[in-house]
Structure 1
Amino acid sequence: MGKSRFIELMAKSMGKTATAEELAELNTFLEQFPESKKMYQVTAALKGSAKQADTVKQKDISTKLEELWYKIKSTDKNQGFINDASKVKPLFHWRWAAAAVLVLGMVGSLLYTRKLRLADQAARLVMHEVRVPNGTTRKLVMPDGTKVILNAGSTFTYPETFAKNTRDVTLNGEGFFEVTHNAKRPFLVHTSNLTVKVLGTVFNVKAYNNDKNIETTLLKGKVQVELGNNPEKNIILLPNEKLLVTNNEPQTRTQAGNTLNQAKVEYQVITLPAVKADEVKETAWLDSRILFTNEPFEDVAKQIERKYNVQIVFESQALETEQISGLLDKESLQDALRIIEITTPFNYRMDGKTVYLSKKEKQN
């Protein structure tokens, strides 16, 4: 075993990173060479001052070691001409001290590197879960500087520190993202049925579990969407395009009653109309507004529930499918219902935070 291998094994042993095989190799060597065993004991004794040694600059340690090893090497060449035991004994002390300093430096470096690695792994294991109640929104800044705004009724999960290769977050609900550009670390938004992959861009994702569709709307940059049931199918979106993906419906039995089938994920890409920035309905919620055009009343009702923190119950199935249009801004809940009632007649009654809607019968 060479000197460098011996010192490496000592460093790993003291840093508690050596494998069982490496420890066995070190013990075998120490038994065969008593001088090396004594050097190991000296180094172990000096280990108690390792914390103090950490304050020494690595450059200074390297310089001193070069000088020490040079002296040892020079002395080794002339060792045959030295007969005075009093001169030989200090030489071995120098040798042990030099090896000890080298090992302590390596141990300190290994421990520091290990400490950083463990701290990084621990940070990635620490997950933050943000739940946004109905009636509110929430703004966040990610570890990389990415800005996120979460809509009411959303749950968002992200790590304390992103991984080296990717930046992964999970969304159940709706979020508006301004992603910090990093070509080497794509930003991934995972939802129940799809994953949105970006490098740096501005987009909106609407992925509530109880909605019929999952929407990805791109405003700036470019995104790649991977469908959960078909990871090889990548859909590229360009600015002012929206991807609609059919949300998975609950599993249903076949007519035979034996087999469970799951709805297939279908999708379509829609080009948004050319409108002013404040008239984009997909992001109207950022200003606490609801903008809807020829949408089923039941879909608008879900947005009303999130905005006003209420529960809407339809007592008439025909009312759920009524197509309605309008804009709800700063109105109270009662005023919002009256605005819709102008074009779609219905009756409503309130019981606490529950709103019951029923079809208004035509008068003869």
Structure 2
Amino acid sequence: MEKSRFIELMAKSMGKSATDEELLELETFLDQFPEYRKTQNVANALKVERSKYRLKEKDLNAGLAKLWDNIRFSEGTVTPSEGNDPAEKQHVKAGFTWYWQWTAAAAILIACFSGLYEYSARRSAVLTLPGTSMLSVHVPFGKTRELVLPDGTKVKLNAGSTLSYPQSFSGNTRLVSLSGEGFFEVTKDHHKPFLVITEHLSIRVLGTVFNVKAYPNDKNIETTLLKGKVQVELKDRPEKNIILLPNEKLVVMKETSGDGDLVGNKEAKIEYQLRKLPNIKPEDIKETAWLNNRLVFINENFEDVAKQLERKYNVQMIFDDQTLKTEQLSGVLEKESLDNALGIMKMTTPFKFRIAGKTIHISHK
């Protein structure tokens, strides 16, 4: 079977227009070449998953046009110019355009969604490992917690974090799921890679020391590597594997944009930066200061600092004046009470605060 015939049958199968004979032809081919079965599984999953992942119409159209140009001249495709009748030319052209748009759409969908589907399946697998009891640890605001995983890996969880992991690691990988912030000292096992799955990325290691900050309501996701080497895979860009070396930090920015997608919903756009850590003592690195109950912020927006204060002190901070959210703050907090911490911050940024139970109101001075 030629590649174009396989794509055609896959497109018809997805569009529910394949005849019984064509479905049998496709099934026979997949039995003979089981390596293509994975593609079919992805396509079938799209019927269920496509509502979860939005593809912008302009991106789809651009991809269709590009793929159409590539396919049109491959594998002996018949072109309308071989005939003499203009009406026949137009009819053939329309037929081939429609046909290849179907097959191109199938190919593009498979390419775009296969990585997303595999990532989603991998993430859900953390909570659905057959025959394995799952454990979930949640740390409330104002607290941190240390634990040891079944393989000996040590984890410290920051406030407002949740870690899910199996009671025992089976299979070829050690999968855990993290929402929030965790510091990992992974036990080496070259035969069983350790994977940390978050909402937007996964981190693959063999044995190393690193910090992951992936709170759902934060604008950025941070992976900071102190020892060893890790490979980071972005959910929205599964083809892009980013290798981190010691004293490097990967910052993934989550932005909400777009009003031109298929259903009018906003879609997440992810960009990233790879940064070197400053050449300072390990205990002074702000990314891991929380391990020693310290909070370090350098030229950070007040809004982002407020989220860290909420987690550290178990409070809710409300900006009565929204313009204060973008004020830049720098400082170090350690054993101060909340009242003293806010007093220190006021020395560099003029504002006033009012404490009402566990709610802090921030306004201009």
Q: TM-score range by the shorter chain?
A: 0.5 to 0.7
| Contact 1:218–1:239 (CA under 8 A) maintained in structure 2 | yes
How far the C-alpha of 1:347 sits from its partner, in A, is: 0.9
1:260-271 to structure 2, matched below 5 A, reads 260-271=265-276
Q: Deviations over 1:31-75 (max 9, x none)?
A: xxxxxxxxxxxxxxxxxxxxxxxxxxxxxxxxxxxxxxxxxxxxx
How far the C-alpha of 1:263 sits from its partner, in A, is: 2.6
Residue aligning to 2:225: 218
1:1-364 to structure 2, matched below 5 A, reads 125-247=132-254, 249=256, 253-254=259-260, 259-360=264-365
Whichever residue aligns with residue 238 of structure 1, its letter is L
Unaligned runs of 5+ in 1: 1-120
C-alpha distance in 1 between matches for 2:344 and 2:298: 14
What is the root-mean-square deviation of aligned Cα atoms in Å? 1.8
C-alpha distance in 1 between matches for 2:170 and 2:253: 31
C-alpha distance in 1 between matches for 2:358 and 2:330: 24
| Contact 1:123–1:159 (CA under 8 A) maintained in structure 2 | no
Q: Deviations over 1:5-38 (max 9, x none)?
A: xxxxxxxxxxxxxxxxxxxxxxxxxxxxxxxxxx
Number of aligned residue pairs: 238
How far the C-alpha of 1:316 sits from its partner, in A, is: 1.1
How far the C-alpha of 1:230 sits from its partner, in A, is: 1.6
Whichever residue aligns with residue 202 of structure 1, its letter is V
C-alpha distance in 1 between matches for 2:144 and 2:266: 36
TM-score by length of 1: 0.63
TM-score by length of 2: 0.63
Distance 1:123 1:313, change over 3 A: same
Q: Deviations over 1:159-216 (max 9, x none)?
A: 0111220000000000000000011100000000000000000000000000000000
Q: Deviations over 1:67-96 (max 9, x none)?
A: xxxxxxxxxxxxxxxxxxxxxxxxxxxxxx
- Tell me the SS of whatever aligns to 2:347: helix
Whichever residue aligns with residue 328 of structure 2, its letter is Q
| Contact 1:124–1:161 (CA under 8 A) maintained in structure 2 | no
Distance 1:318 1:126, change over 3 A: same
Whichever residue aligns with residue 323 of structure 1, its letter is Q
Q: If you compute each CA radius of gyration, which structure gives the higher value, 1 or 2?
A: 1
How far the C-alpha of 1:264 sits from its partner, in A, is: 1.6
C-alpha distance in 2 between matches for 1:290 and 1:319: 20
Distance 1:248 1:274, change over 3 A: same
| Contact 1:123–1:161 (CA under 8 A) maintained in structure 2 | no
- Tell me the SS of whatever aligns to 2:310: helix
C-alpha distance in 1 between matches for 2:130 and 2:145: 23
How far the C-alpha of 1:318 sits from its partner, in A, is: 1.3
| Contact 1:209–1:247 (CA under 8 A) maintained in structure 2 | no
Distance 1:194 1:124, change over 3 A: farther
How far the C-alpha of 1:124 sits from its partner, in A, is: 5.0
